[in-house]
């Protein structure tokens, strides 16, 4: 059977690529520290030596809109065009073409349905920065096949936080039941406290540092019970109007497992958000 060699969760700041490649007067003062942290984080995936990446993210109203908004969607295509025009224009992100792993996509869909998740799928999915940003930060060669999984964190009615956790637990069971010798890394991206277009967007750090500290503690220690006690759909409005993306972190806690302490933890306060990076090695850290 397949083995999960790494579980990785991170934020997905779309300006990293532009900041890290800028030079001279265009290079922001925080770029060097940010780049150092990303290079160290990248090494956690490199050490795991995966063959396939299962990528969890959320479409930012690029391909999915209110006329057809699935709660959970699995990409099932041989290739994925990546990044959209506004992401190229605003963030400087490159266009990408990523290879898909159709056999694993099909396995996740079939087993997910059998496990009680009515997963949607797309054979013509174009993906955005929630999935390409971790490709840029963790595997810039973009040479590994992927299975993209989209969650709905934007368009109410949203699934409950516990459903994200349950899906993460199910994804782990399904991947580990895939009849393959391949090594799989499951990578998911979300938000800590985040404000978009609101009065708290452009502060010296995220809009709710206290929430961010609690969130990092929940994630790094695998405290699913404590997290689920405090986090509700209503409570996630308070830390910032886009904080529901934290539920993708909760999904990744489900993949890692209750009580699983992260093997790697790092954070960085930027001008309007806290960036956070976590890695677990389910079978022990690579030599």
pLDDT in tens, 199-222: 887 877 888 999 999 999 999 999
| pLDDT recorded at residue 282 | 97
User: Which whole number is the average pLDDT over 180-195?
Assistant: 96
pLDDT in tens, 253-284: 999 999 999 999 999 998 789 999 999 999 98
Q: Rounded CA gap, 133 and 115, in Å?
A: 30
Enumerate the domain spans of the chain: 3-280
Q: What is the largest CA-CA distance in the chain?
A: 55
Choices 3.40.830.10, 3.20.20.70, 3.30.1330.10, 3.30.460.10: CATH for 3-280: 3.40.830.10
Q: Please state whether the predicted TM-score (pTM) of the whole model is above 0.85.
A: yes
The owner of tokens 């003062």 is 29
pLDDT in tens, 217-252: 999 999 999 999 999 999 999 999 999 999 999 999
Q: In the chain, which residue ranges form alpha helices assigned H by DSSP?
A: 16-21, 31-48, 85-91, 102-114, 129-138, 161-176, 209-221, 224-230, 246-256
CB 20 within 8 A of CB 275: no
Q: Rounded CA gap, 268 and 20, in Å?
A: 15
Local structure of 166: helix, strand or coil: helix
Residues in CB range of 268: below 8 A, 6 or more apart: 30, 33, 34, 37, 274, 275, 276
Q: Rounded CA gap, 64 and 87, in Å?
A: 16
């Amino acid at each position: 059977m397949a083995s999960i060699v790494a579980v990785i969760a991170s934020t997905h700041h779309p300006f990293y690529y532009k900041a890290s490649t800028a030079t001279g007067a265009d290079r922001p003062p925080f770029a060097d520290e940010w780049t150092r942290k990303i290079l160290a984080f990248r090494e956690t995936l490199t050490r795991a030596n995966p063959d396939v990446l299962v990528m969890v993210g959320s479409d930012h109203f690029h391909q999915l809109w209110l006329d057809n908004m699935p709660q959970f969607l699995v990409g099932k295509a041989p290739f994925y065009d990546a990044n959209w025009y506004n992401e190229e224009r605003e963030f400087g992100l490159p266009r990408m073409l990523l290879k898909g792993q159709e056999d694993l996509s099909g396995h996740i869909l079939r087993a997910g349905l059998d496990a009680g998740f009515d997963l949607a799928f797309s054979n013509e999915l174009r993906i955005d920065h929630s999935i390409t940003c971790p490709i840029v930060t963790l595997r810039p060669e973009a040479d590994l096949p992927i299975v993209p999984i989209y969650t709905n964190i934007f368009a109410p009615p949203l699934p409950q936080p516990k459903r994200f956790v349950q899906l993460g637990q199910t994804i782990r069971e399904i991947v580990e039941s895939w009849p393959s010798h391949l090594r799989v890394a499951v990578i998911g991206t979300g938000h800590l406290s985040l404000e978009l277009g609101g009065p708290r967007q452009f502060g010296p750090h995220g809009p709710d540092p206290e929430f961010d500290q609690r969130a990092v503690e929940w994630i790094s220690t695998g405290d699913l019970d404590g997290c689920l006690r405090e986090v509700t759909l209503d409570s996630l409005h308070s830390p910032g109007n886009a904080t529901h993306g934290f539920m993708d972190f909760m999904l990744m806690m489900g993949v890692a497992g209750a009580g699983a302490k992260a093997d790697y933890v790092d954070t960085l306060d930027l001008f309007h958000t806290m960036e956070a990076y976590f890695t677990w090695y389910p079978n022990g850290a690579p030599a």
